[in-house]
């Protein structure tokens, strides 16, 4: 009687675990499918009159009024912020001693402050969007890892139950041949379950990102459709990188190639730098790493703005 109760209990537990395994499916969350999960809620239109000057070095070489007051680094930052014409006008007005010139200089100084503030907002906005995308990918990766962990736990418990059930059943069978059959079958089932637990499920989740901030860095476009003008100019200007030989955008891409995407395939390249794809947990963590590297580079632009601000305060 006790043996029958043991068998019944094991069968009930087995059916519950099997039911749990069958019902445990990956649910695609709303955050993975939202095309504009981290995007700005409004379209940002930048004044074309304050865009960076493409050939700024030729302008600086012909205007000593600026180079005598500011370092080349600060002038390049000012150009990226679209305020180089304002600086030229400000320095010109400083040479004029009159009340009207003083009033004009005050107005120009306010415009310069506004440009600095806007550049700072572009940096913080881009960094926030990168952080948001990294957090989204990290949460989705944790979701997939949690499901895989539960799957391994369930399969391990199943293998234990099957092994115990096999032992109990063989105790009721007196005939030699059926006994061996049950024993072999139970052993094979236990081994199969243990093997499935040891192998990754390769579960994926579909992620949509129409505004993929990694794409322009990977493709090395001269113009960007997603980055604000100041941030993109800073990323593309070679003078802002260590050594000045390559842009921050290029060196970031090379770090991805050398340390993050080692052995990547064409399919993975399309996955990371396209607009959507099926990501596994490892793919999502790779995406998190690239977004965080890029975010760190963007946040460092605050130091460049601080240098310019400190030197501007001496001129006001």
Banded pLDDT at 3 (limits 50, 70, 90): very low
Q: What is the pLDDT of residue 101?
A: 86
pTM over 0.85: no
* pLDDT tops 60 at residue 48: yes
Task: Give the integer Cα–Cα distance in Å for 83 and 86.
Answer: 5
For residue range 59-113, what is the model confidence (pLDDT) as tens digits?
Answer: 888 878 888 889 999 999 999 999 999 999 998 888 888 888 889 989 999 999 9
């Amino acid at each position: 009687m006790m043996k029958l109760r043991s068998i019944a209990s094991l069968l009930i537990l087995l059916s519950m675990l099997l039911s749990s395994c069958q019902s445990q499916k990956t649910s695609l969350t709303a955050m993975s499918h939202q095309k504009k999960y981290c995007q700005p809620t409004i379209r940002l239109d930048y004044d074309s009159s304050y865009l960076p000057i493409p050939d700024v070095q030729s302008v600086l070489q012909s205007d000593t009024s600026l180079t005598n007051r500011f370092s080349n680094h600060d002038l390049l930052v000012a150009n990226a912020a679209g305020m180089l014409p304002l600086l030229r006008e400000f320095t010109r007005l400083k040479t004029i001693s009159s009340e009207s010139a003083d009033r004009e200089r005050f107005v120009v100084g306010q415009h310069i402050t506004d440009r600095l503030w806007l550049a700072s907002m572009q940096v913080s906005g881009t960094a926030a969007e990168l952080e948001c995308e990294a957090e989204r990918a990290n949460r989705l990766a944790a979701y997939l890892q949690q499901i895989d962990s539960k799957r391994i736990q369930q399969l391990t418990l199943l293998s234990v139950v099957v092994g115990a059930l096999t032992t109990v059943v063989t105790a009721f069978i007196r005939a030699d041949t059926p006994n061996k059959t049950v024993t072999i079958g139970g052993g094979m089932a236990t081994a199969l379950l243990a093997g499935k637990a040891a192998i990754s499920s390769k579960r994926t989740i579909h992620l949509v990102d129409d505004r993929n901030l990694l794409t322009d860095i990977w493709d090395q476009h001269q113009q960007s459709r997603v980055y604000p003008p100041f941030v993109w100019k800073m990323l593309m200007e070679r003078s802002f990188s260590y050594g000045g030989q390559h842009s921050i955008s290029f060196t970031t891409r090379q770090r991805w190639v050398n340390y993050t995407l080692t052995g990547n395939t064409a399919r993975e390249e399309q996955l990371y730098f396209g607009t959507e794809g099926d990501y596994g947990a490892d793919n999502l963590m790779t995406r998190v790493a690239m977004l965080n590297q890029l975010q760190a580079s963007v946040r460092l632009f605050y130091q460049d703005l601080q240098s310019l601000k400190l030197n501007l305060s001496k001129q006001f």
